[in-house]
Amino acid sequence: MMKVTLTGTGSPIPDANRAGPSTLVQCAGQNILIDCGRGVAMRLVAAGVPAPFISAILITHLHSDHITDLNDLVTTRWILTPEATPTVVYGPLGTQKVVDGMMAMLTPDQKYRHDHHEDLRIGPGLQVEVHEVVPGDEFMIGDARVIVGRTDHRPVTPTIGFRIEAEGKSVVLAGDTVPCDELDALCLNADIYVQTVLRPDLLELVKQFVPALASRTTDILDYHSNVEDAAKTASRAGVKTLMLTHYVPAMQTGQEADWIALATPHFSGNIVLGPDLTSAEA
Ligand SMILES: [Zn+2]
Ligand SMILES: [Zn+2]
């Protein structure tokens, strides 16, 4: 059984009810976290998988909203795990440099805790094992196979998506991307395809009410999939379930049917969206 839980359905814009982008995939006895946005450590507890139980973290790209709480996961894992083991991170080229900077930021805290907790001094301390990966790479997390694919979120580069396969099931975590051939190939016949999306029609309204943000609101349209794009990708690739997340602007309670209505003309499969902790199984 493969379970996919949206541990954060928000975006860079802070929202009272939506944590930043992150998704938990549970399969073959592994707990794999994709991206780690704002509040992810809290949502993981709600999902029943506190930070020390994460097998590996996969990063789609280095935009702040997708990595902002990596430091929280790394620290939480260290202080809550009796025998410290490194946090394992797979990400695009550049991930090591970002993690090095983050570790520098955490140095004072590591000293405070070492000074006060003798047992924390026994292990290797705060450690992150970084694997930088490129499109075409494949690796195993336990018995789960992960395939890395190229995505298109230019000018942000490199960006990658992940296909996770285990026990005959598959899920694709696309991250932020516009539709492209590589994404179609990564998604081919997947059981579940998770896509971050925005709504140009609602952003047009935002533009009218907050003219100062007009140009930034327009800029984001050309490097994200909208709901229709995601539905068309799902249809071309023959996926069974389309999960939408990273709603820009934030989806209000009661609007779910409106969002689904934009997808259904283009995709006849199962469509899943909702609040944080919404899940799907394959
Ligand atoms: Zn992004
Ligand atoms: Zn994003």
Whether the model clears a pTM of 0.85, i.e. scores above it, the answer is yes
The helix/strand/coil state of 18 is coil
CA 157 – ligand 2 centroid, Å: 13
CA 63 – ligand 1 centroid, Å: 5
Q: How far apart are CA 37 and CA 22, in angstroms?
A: 6
Asked about 65 being catalytic, the answer comes back as: yes
pLDDT string in tens for the chain (282-residue length):
999 999 999 999 899 999 999 999 999 999 999 999 999 999 999 999 999 999 999 999 999 999 999 999 999 998 888 777 899 999 999 999 999 999 999 998 888 887 887 777 776 678 899 999 999 999 999 999 999 999 999 998 999 999 999 999 999 999 999 999 999 999 999 999 999 999 988 888 888 888 777 777 777 777 899 999 999 999 999 999 999 999 999 999 899 999 999 999 999 999 999 999 999 999
Catalytic residue among 15, 65, 152, 191: 65
Which ligand gives the minimal distance to the CA of 248? Answer: 2
Which ligand gives the minimal distance to the CA of 157? Answer: 1
Which ligand gives the minimal distance to the CA of 195? Answer: 2
CA dihedral 57, 61, 66, 67 (to 10 degrees): 60
CA 21 – ligand 2 centroid, Å: 7
Cis peptide before 155 (omega within 30 of 0): yes
CA 65 – ligand 1 centroid, Å: 7
Which residue has 């029943």 as its token pair?
Answer: 48
The helix/strand/coil state of 198 is strand
Q: How far apart are CA 143 and CA 30, in angstroms?
A: 8
Q: How far apart are CA 83 and CA 105, in angstroms?
A: 23
Residue 128: enclosing H or E segment and its boundaries?
strand 128-132
Q: How far apart are CA 226 and CA 179, in angstroms?
A: 9
Bridge partners, 242 (sequence order): 193, 271
The helix/strand/coil state of 139 is strand
